[in-house]
Structure 1
Amino acid sequence: MCYTLHTHREEMRGGIKVGYAVVHMMKIKSGAVGGIQSHNNREHEPKTNPDVDMSRSEDNYDLVPCDNYKRSIKEKLSNLVESSRAVRKDAVVVCNFIVTSDSETMEALGADRQREFFEDSVKWFSDRYGADRVLNATVHMDETTPHLHIGVMPITQDGRLSAKAIFTKTEMKAIQTEFARDVGEKYGLERGVEGSERTHLSEARFKEQKALEMANEHGAIAQELQIIAEDCKQELSEATRSLETVKQELSAMQDRKDTLQGEIERLEEVKSRANQTMKRVHETVNQQKPILLDLQKRISEAKSELSVVETAVKEKKAEGTEKFGWDGMAERIERARKEAGKDNHIKALEARISLLERFISLPQVKPLWEQFQALIGRKKPQKDHER
């Protein structure tokens, strides 16, 4: 949105020619900042504005110098904007004002008055929007009509970046009226009427304005392309990271596969040995099966006999308890002792008799014993022993 005042001279009030103040604004997005800086600071020879005479560019001067627009914009945003959110890519970061009049009026003012006019213009914008929000102020003397470029960052008093909130239609009309009243009248300039840019701008100013608009448009396109490039770069970076992740996962899976393959081979070998062992066990079992059956039979028979014996033992125990209970135990013990004593006496006699028989059997004694037996009328001991 642009508002301008007449820049040509007209016959006014008694034939006196009156000049009109020109204040024209163009919104600049971040993508076009580099182009505006190049144009204002004459960093490159303009190709779209043939009225620029680079041999006279040394006559240009700065009232608010700025060599790096992007850096200064970033610093001001950091210092003046309250929100921590990032600035949108398509946000208007600076509003570029062109301040001038028609070439005849400017020439009539002379160099010193021109400089005073531009200095007062910078002060007016600084007082109105804040000196800390003025990005640059450059006077171009190398074109047909001297003019001022002043950049104002649209930062509200409550710390918001919003050209829409500051430069409303009402504000733009107020700028035309109040600038002409506060600054223009001092230099014989009046407020003009609203009209088309082509009518109210001089030929040179019109060309320059179109060049700036083209730069802004191209900058916006370049910004969009940059955003697309950044998005593609980010997507490529994410794709690269994803690819690396997949590669790492594939490598880990391959390692796992190799480990599992080794484990499978080991288990197959264990299985083979186990099968061989089981085969030998089956063969051994088949070979020992008759023996095992025989042992099983014997165990069964032994269990049967054990059952019979256990039954008998139980019966004997019952009989012994009945027969050899505690009652009469002392009498039974005494009787057993006596019987054991008789047995011992008999055994002692038998031992003596055996000893006597061995003695009689001796060659020296045997004849004498036989004679003794004959004397007492008994049979020979030999015959008795033979019985």
Structure 2
Amino acid sequence: MAQHAILRFEKHKGHPAGPLEAHHERKKEQYASNPDIDTSRSRYNFHIVKPEGRYYHFIQSRIEQSGCRTRKDSTRFVDTLITASPEFFKKKSPEEIQAFFKRAADFLIDRVGRENIVSAVVHMDEKTPHLHLTFVPLTKDNRLCAKEIIGNRANLT
């Protein structure tokens, strides 16, 4: 069966950082909206980059530090999902899975800058392990521009 790598970027303009943080950091005990979450396995989740406080405060602080101007429709942060076909993980040891996600996170950290990373957490408590990496899309000249950071498929190879 064919195996696939999956990379998804979701841009956020407003203030959904709280609900996103609650999901990523597993701050609730039950998740009716996602029956795939097995909270008994949440202890196996791990951070590649731990958040420095609340997501919203980090995002706001990073934007203010940069001195960039924002508009109502500015993309303030990007939630990235990285995973692969379930078959890819079946015969992998926990160490191999951790190494896979560390390499994937390093790939993105090199492109967006460590200083712009809000959090990078791997969820092992769902059907397929996956990485959520959240970042503030600041360019080298301190502009908020997700389009310039993310680019297109050709830019990400």
1:46 is aligned to 31
Give the Å deviation of 1:134: 1.3
1:29 is aligned to 13
Return the alpha-carbon distance in structure 2 between the equivalents of residues 109 and 162 of structure 1. Answer: 37
Matched-pair identity in %: 30
1:374 is aligned to none
> Which residue among 88, 108, 133 is the counterpart of 2:91?
108
> Which residue among 120, 123, 143 is the counterpart of 2:126?
143
2:45 is aligned to 60
For the Cα contact (< 8 Å) 1:25–1:97, is it kept in 2? yes
Report matched runs for 1:1-387 at 5 Å.
9-10=1-2, 19-44=3-28, 45-66=30-51, 67-79=53-65, 81-83=66-68, 85=69, 87-168=70-151, 171-175=152-156, 178=157
Q: Which has the larger radius of gyration?
A: 1
The answer for unaligned runs of 5 or more in structure 1 is 1-8, 11-18, 179-387
Return the alpha-carbon distance in structure 2 between the equivalents of residues 93 and 47 of structure 1. Answer: 28
Sort the Cα spacing of 1:76 and 1:141 in 2 relative to 1 into closer, same or farther, 3 A: same
Higher relative contact order (CA 8 A, sep 6+): 2
1:350 is aligned to none
Return the alpha-carbon distance in structure 1 between the equivalents of residues 12 and 130 of structure 2. Answer: 18
Give the Å deviation of 1:57: 1.0
Kindly provide the CA deviation profile for residues 150-183 of structure 1, in whole angstroms up to 9, marking residues without a partner as x: 0121111111112133333xx33432xx2xxxxx
| Residue type of the alignment partner of 1:24 | R
For the Cα contact (< 8 Å) 1:82–1:158, is it kept in 2? no
Sort the Cα spacing of 1:164 and 1:128 in 2 relative to 1 into closer, same or farther, 3 A: closer
Kindly provide the CA deviation profile for residues 11-54 of structure 1, in whole angstroms up to 9, marking residues without a partner as x: xxxxxxxx322111111223211111011011123221111111
Kindly provide the CA deviation profile for residues 27-85 of structure 1, in whole angstroms up to 9, marking residues without a partner as x: 12232111110110111232211111111111111111114101111221122x233x4
1:258 is aligned to none
Higher helix fraction (1 or 2):
1
User: Would you say how many aligned residue pairs link Structure 1 and Structure 2?
Assistant: 155
Higher strand fraction (1 or 2):
2
| Residue type of the alignment partner of 1:60 | N
The answer for unaligned runs of 5 or more in structure 2 is none
